[in-house]
Structure 1
């Protein structure tokens, strides 16, 4: 039976939509903030850190996310040694205008750095609001379109995931890659990230196909995609689709049209283990996707559950990572610990999702594992690197 494309606006799919990307229009990266911008701090006193969360929107999912981000930040603070953080939580309502207002208020009240918000437009607005005051924003967004100036994105980005998978695939002999993406803002951005990753690697792009984001759009596109994939010069299909969108349909219909996953490897730009039901789809068996270090992530989930009596939201680890980075920099005892130069130091940081570092252009690099789906389970076939001289970089 053909699976239906589901509406990503439904509450039950909100987590998946957030994990995939918060690709919103009208985002303009902050410009004109260069050099080593950032406030001077007193490392001998508690450092004021503003946490901007989406509470107050009236959406129950936003309330759960806001609470989980706050609690993850609190857990990170409790793990710091010799560093004091004065965490101040502000509600944005998931709204750009309110995010800008609360960001300004937070700086007025002494915040030296801003952690959050989640959604791209809100993060962009917050960054613009405090850019002239030299305060950096570590947003939870993964939309690299807003990165730059005083705005950094902490979320797992398409370019980072694409680089990891393309490099791994090329090393394993899957060098002739066809890109398949949905005709959406996120799909187009994902396709561009894959193309750039291919251009930087030893692989080559041998084809590209897109489809309208609808059930009929996928159905109509499948025959041509399958025909090209069976052309004899395609080693891998790199799919941008996620579980809330076209992935179930593509994973079902492409093999039905004769595409053999044993010959043409399926690669996923999104997490294929969230929700876990995705792992049981017949079409994704044998497919590869990237994920954070599962051992570190499991430790975080266990500690969070023990501390708060509930599981963490899937992206709450970003709040922990942000505090961990701030804490590591402040521990050095330097007054310029929260400047751009300090935030973008090459060694990076270690968080609950593994190693990561912030780049001068506002994007991030994260150490990711490569997993293969086997019998409904995600099995790590290439471990996440433990430093930035390791595999995958």
Structure 2
């Protein structure tokens, strides 16, 4: 039997944490002058555009140094890809704290920054956004915490809402529209539950019930009979789990089939990546399961380029550094002085990023083009490719 969050899985837990939401308290986002997404500074598109990059360098956590360098490397890679656009990238350290992020953001604007890229952590990104809102500068944070989004703060990280929407849409089209939600009774699990339930409603699917569980091994074991009973009562043909590979997923993958919920007839769907770490693919219970992921071809191409340039595999979220510069460069290339206003940043066509298309939304969140993948014979198989433009399948 697989235990939940056992020491042997700590390495996996750290990796999944890099891809997971950091839910921290946040102040209300502040809208720039003009309201909503209309605010932002004027730029001279014929001159180098000053861009501040805020990274978690200087913290006591060694992994933050690796992340900081990876984000900077990816940003510089993106700059090298810009044709005819000049970016004056200025890097500031936040030490991974809100107080230092606030100071760094203010210093960057005083130094002339027209837009801020970063920081990573939700609380730090919120602090940076609040600090410079009155100065008319937008912040493209690497966080994926939607609670800090809005006003002058845009989050670049993939969100639960985006992933849930992609998977709920696909499930409905495949006749798996009676969905049971299984969620952990902690902050991330509760927010994941809300995202899934809202996605089910938007897609016109049917919520067959929701079952919460205490985030512990005994909590999972105790939830199994309730999940089975709720699935039967709601005639569920899909089970959508918020659990990730470093938490309860291995236990659910074993116990749900043992309880009689057959994954060959009841579709298992994951809100998180089920292919990280690769050992997860060997679990019998995840075979046939669906999850969403960035365009694998573009992701691999970015990883290969990064490794060739810097001699190592990029951090899992390094691509966000590339995406921020790619968006800024695409807008500046149009030659307009209002290229970095909120209205410009949220233009509907979106941008081509390191791992696929994405666009920023007026509420400060984002949409990303994701592929739907299935685990077959311990391998990841893309069963619905990532869209190449907005308005097509998957949106």
| Corresponding residue of 1:2 | 2
Is the 8 Å Cα contact of residues 209 and 234 (structure 2) preserved in structure 1? no
User: What residue is the counterpart of 1:266 in the other structure?
Assistant: 268
Q: CA deviation at 1:258?
A: 1.2
Preserved CA contact (<8 Å) 2:57 2:93: yes
Of 81, 84, 104, the residue aligned with 2:83 is 81
Residues 55, 11 of structure 1: CA spacing in aligned structure 2 closer, same or farther, 3 A cutoff? farther
Aligned to 1:28: 27
Which deviates the most, 266-275 or 228-237?
228-237
Aligned to 2:124: 122
**Pair 1:12–1:259, CA change in 2 (3 A):** closer
Instruction: Check the 8 A contact 1:5/1:249 in 2, yes or no.
Output: no
| Aligned partner of 1:51 among 43, 50, 53 | 53
CA apart distance, 1:10: 5.0
Superposition map of 1:85-234 within 5 A: 85-231=87-233, 233-234=235-236
Calculate the TM-score normalised by the size of structure 1.
0.97
Matches within 5 A, 1:329-348: 329-348=331-350
Work out whether residues 94 and 104 of structure 2, in 8 Å CA contact, stay in contact via their aligned partners in 1.
yes
Partner in structure 2 of residue 14 of structure 1 = 14
Give the counterpart of 2:363 among 361, 364, 370. Answer: 361
Would the aligned equivalents of 2:10 and 2:246 in 1 still touch at CA under 8 Å? no
Paired with 1:271 and 1:284, the residues of 2 have a C-alpha distance of 11
Write the distance in 2 (CA, Å) between the matches of 1:367 and 1:376: 24
Going from structure 1 to structure 2, the CA distance change for 1:96 and 1:8 (only over 3 Å counts) comes to farther
More divergent stretch after superposition (81-90 vs 270-279):
270-279
Partners of 1:353 and 1:294 in 2: CA distance: 7
Does the residue aligned with 1:105 lie in a helix, a strand or coil? helix
1:99 deviates by 0.6
Query: Deviation string for 1:53-84 (max 9, x for gaps)?
Result: 11111111111111111101011111110011
Question: Is the partner of 2:96 in helix, strand or coil?
Answer: coil
Q: Deviations over 1:102-137 (max 9, x none)?
A: 011111111110111111111101100001011000
**Counterpart of 2:293?**
291
Q: What's the offset of the Cα at 1:5? A: 2.6
Give per-residue Cα distances to partners, 1:128-182, cap 9 Å, x unaligned: 0001011000001111111000000100000011110000000000010000000
Contact 1:293 / 1:369 at 8 angstroms: preserved in 2?
A: yes
Aligned twin of 2:316: 314
TM-score (norm 2): 0.96
Rounded to whole Å, the distance in 1 between the matches of 2:12 and 2:91 is 26
CA distance in 2 between counterparts of 1:167 and 1:122 reads 33
Deviation at 1:385, TM superposition (A): 0.6
Q: CA RMSD in A?
A: 1.5
CA gap 1:147/1:210 in 2 versus in 1, 3 angstroms: same
How far 1:231 sits from its partner (Å)? 4.4
Sort the Cα spacing of 1:265 and 1:387 in 2 relative to 1 into closer, same or farther, 3 A: same
Unpaired runs of 5+ residues, structure 1, are none
Whether the 8 Å CA contact 2:31–2:150 is kept in 1: the answer is no
Report if the CA contact (8 A) 2:51-2:117 is conserved: yes
- After TM superposition, give the deviation of residue 321 of structure 1 in Å: 0.6
Q: Is the Cα–Cα contact under 8 Å of residues 8 and 244 in structure 1 kept in the other structure?
A: no
CA distance in 2, matches of 1:308, 1:60: 19
Corresponding position of 2:379: 377
* CA apart distance, 1:4: 2.9
Q: Secondary structure at the match of 1:66?
A: helix
Matches of 2:112 and 2:8, distance apart in 1: 38
Q: Distance in 2 between matches of 1:172 and 1:12?
A: 32
What is the deviation of 1:277?
A: 1.8
Taking the aligned partners of 2:132 and 2:390, their CA distance within structure 1 comes to: 31
Q: Deviations over 1:188-224 (max 9, x none)?
A: 0010001111111121101100111111111111121
* Structure 1 residues 161 and 12, CA gap change in structure 2 (3 angstroms): closer
